Structure 1
């Protein structure tokens, strides 16, 4: 069976986005309504500035006791997030996530159009297993060469 691509694995292609001057409270409400774990920070018409995730809300807002209505997304977003092409294999995307320590990857077409956001939750156990095996192999190679 051929491995799925990130584009095939995302259950719905709705892209949740807000402008850079939206506040954290607006983002949290939008994410809750959409049952979504991230929001893209976009500058119209289609320029990706950053991403804000559930983890960002916890570590960069709640843990620092920031006022969500007074904190803009630009203040807490991860700027210029790593993106993947729609044809990227799920295990390759998961490997990127394992090695770089994040759980969401915007899916961007060759024409720079945002197609969706791949989440670690979209991966199947066998795809995660493939990525973990590759990450372990990469670590062993790096140790041998280091």
Structure 2
């Protein structure tokens, strides 16, 4: 197992493609099916901070709970958003990937390539048949 973690939803095609891309690189990540094992409030806060994005950027706006809970309201602070995600883990967008090169929400799935500590990789075919070519560009090591 590598020092890569994927917060994964097996029902999500993008999440499945990210997991397959990581394995295509010869790496076996720790897979957290976050709907079965939700991260804590502190873990969610830390993931958002590690991405360099506001917590709101990790919300899945397409979920019914997003609308039902009025989460589009910009006046809602992080505590309210964390409460919502804790109650409805499906609101956490996916796949979130943590590697030694950083943390990111990997949408589209090829965004994970910048986080992989190997490469460049041979071409990869996504579930929908789209061919992904790795340009070999990687983030610098995060310290």
Give the TM-score taking structure 2 as reference length: 0.30
- Greater helix share, structure number: 1
- Greater strand share, structure number: 1
Rg (Cα) greater in structure = 1
